Structure 1
Amino acid sequence: MIIFKYAEQLARYIQQQKTAGKQIGFVPTMGALHNGHIALINQSKQTTAVTVCSIFVNPTQFNNPTDYQLYPNTIERDIMKLEAAGCDALFLPSIAEMYPRGTTGLEHYDLGYLETLLEGKFRPGHFQGVCQVMFRLLNMVQPHQLFMGQKDYQQCMVVSRLLTLMKSGIQLVTCPTLREPDGLAMSSRNMRLSLHDRQLATTIYQCLVFIKQQLNQGVSWPVIKEQAEKMLTDVGFRIDYVELADAKTLEPVTVTIQSYPGARVALIAAFLHDVRLIDNMLM
């Protein structure tokens, strides 16, 4: 695996691969890699000839400075995992490389209602930061396919919107959420959980399963929502949201499953002490 710290060097490498007729797959990450990330690498390797991964903890998408400072850094272990997975290239830029003019006064993207609800509502400015870094990464890597995980459901929709705004031909491939044996969605933030909190964290997955079961039985959403929220607060979660939305638009949906024609997704975001966890499940 070749490690690049500068976009100019990476661009030369990418151009060489494209000249040779090779398809480029790209997996953007913020490091602290787990098997969910490696599954994205594997998916890229199955469908493209060259897989590029990036590790960059983007400061502009953290609306909580403490969260940014506490984000796990396991770079040596990450490099070993990527090498073992057969990743071809790793882009490891500095903040100065990504934002040579600094991180203030950056461009603004028209994301419409997507940044007014759910994650957008509770993390103002977050998705602008996501777009700012993804715009730069996508222009630097110039991949044919972009691989992201379904756990960040709304983020995938935002990136899809960004690709439309860019008039880009890059194909976004959304891969299923990988879970631990007890159902907990794999996440870099899990590293920050104490052993006790790690056990409690599975309540989010249990809530999603409960929601799906209750919807299938025709129970009304307000009743389900109240019960699901109680499941979380009873074990110490502080809830940002427990919502049911249209799977394609993320607009809120409250009717019973029998009377709603489209697919829906249940989404949860909640804090366990100072660690914020998110998860979702298609209904």
Structure 2
Amino acid sequence: MLIFDRQVALKEHLKSISYPKTTIGFVPTMGALHQGHLSLLQESLQNNTITIISIFVNPTQFNNNEDLAKYPRTLESDVQKIKSLNESILVFAPKVDDIYEGKTISEHFDFDGLENQMEGAFRPGHFDGVGTIVKRLFEIIQPTNAYFGEKDFQQLQIVRKMVEKEQLPVNVVGCHIFRESNGLAMSSRNERLSAHEKQKSAIIYQTLLDAKAKFGTKSAENIKEWVANKFERETDFKLEYFQIADEATLLPCLRKSKNRKYRAFIAVFVNNIRLIDTISLN
């Protein structure tokens, strides 16, 4: 298995093994890999000549320094998981200076308002950081296809918008959410949960399922009130937001339309650990 910590070395290697019909599949991650990440790699392996995974905790997308400091960094075990899946996968695990060249700041992007909803409203500058790192990784790797999990659906739409606006020749592929046996969406942050917290966090996905069931007969505002009241009674959890939004624009659903697709989005704190999830309502 080949592991690169410098972009120059990775670029040189890709030049040496590429040929006219080579396709490159790319899975960008911040490490602490779980089955959801591995499923993205499997999708890439099935559909591309070369598969690359990046492992890089990107500082510019964190608006909370404590969250950045506590983010799990498990490169050694990550590499073992990748190796057990397929030794041909290339690993790009750069240092901050290699990516940002001494200037750890974000570019500013206009995502047509997608960046102002939900995550963007509660995490100022977050999506500028996401856009910055994804654009740089795309420029370094020049993938044919890039794979993202739908748990971070807003991020997925942001990346698609960036690719469109920057006219980058990358096909962005959204992949299904992998869940724990109790329904909790797999996330690197789950590593920070105790067994008890992980078990109780099943309430997040159950709330989304209940919201989906109600969406056929209840208004979006009525469902939002129901969710807020539900979490007021749950002392172990703090609801940051629950929103029902248009999938394309991410704008809040004010009145349902038969011609639109909607999703429910939720962010919850469990003992200061922030978890997000989403579900399609159509």
TM category (shorter chain) comes to over 0.9
Task: Show the counterpart of 1:59.
Answer: 59
Q: How far apart, CA to CA, are the structure 2 residues paired with 1:16 and 1:173?
A: 26
1:238 Cα deviation (Å)?
1.4
Q: How far apart, CA to CA, are the structure 2 residues paired with 1:62 and 1:219?
A: 36
8 Å CA contact 1:183, 1:205 repeated in 2: yes
Task: Show the counterpart of 2:239.
Answer: 239
Alignment of 1:1-283 (within 5 A): 1-19=1-19, 21-86=21-86, 87-104=88-105, 106-216=106-216, 218-235=217-234, 236-256=236-256, 259-283=257-281
Q: How far apart, CA to CA, are the structure 1 residues paired with 2:77 and 2:279?
A: 30
Greater alpha carbon shift after TM alignment, 260-269 vs 169-178 = 260-269
8 Å CA contact 2:267, 2:276 repeated in 1: yes
8 Å CA contact 2:107, 2:129 repeated in 1: no
Q: Secondary structure at the match of 2:208?
A: helix
> Matched residue pairs, number?
279
The CA RMSD measured in Å over matched residues stands at 1.3
CA deviations on 1:58-106 (whole Å, 9 max, x unpaired) are: 00000000000000111111000011111520001000101113214x4
8 Å CA contact 2:245, 2:264 repeated in 1: yes
Q: How far apart, CA to CA, are the structure 2 residues paired with 1:172 and 1:56?
A: 19
Q: How far apart, CA to CA, are the structure 1 residues paired with 2:204 and 2:262?
A: 17
The amino acid of 1:130's aligned partner reads: V
Q: How far apart, CA to CA, are the structure 2 residues paired with 1:9 and 1:277?
A: 36
1:20 Cα deviation (Å)?
5.7
Q: Secondary structure at the match of 2:190?
A: helix
CA deviations on 1:185-239 (whole Å, 9 max, x unpaired) are: 00000011122211121111011000011112x1222222122223333223212
Q: Secondary structure at the match of 1:112?
A: coil
Structure 2 unaligned regions, length at least 5: none
8 Å CA contact 2:127, 2:158 repeated in 1: yes
Runs of 4+ aligned residues of structure 1 deviating over 3 Å after TM superposition are: none
Question: How many percent identity over aligned positions?
Answer: 39
Q: Secondary structure at the match of 1:124?
A: coil
8 Å CA contact 1:244, 1:267 repeated in 2: yes
What TM-score results when the alignment is normalised by the length of structure 1?
0.95
Structure 1 unaligned regions, length at least 5: none
What TM-score results when the alignment is normalised by the length of structure 2?
0.95
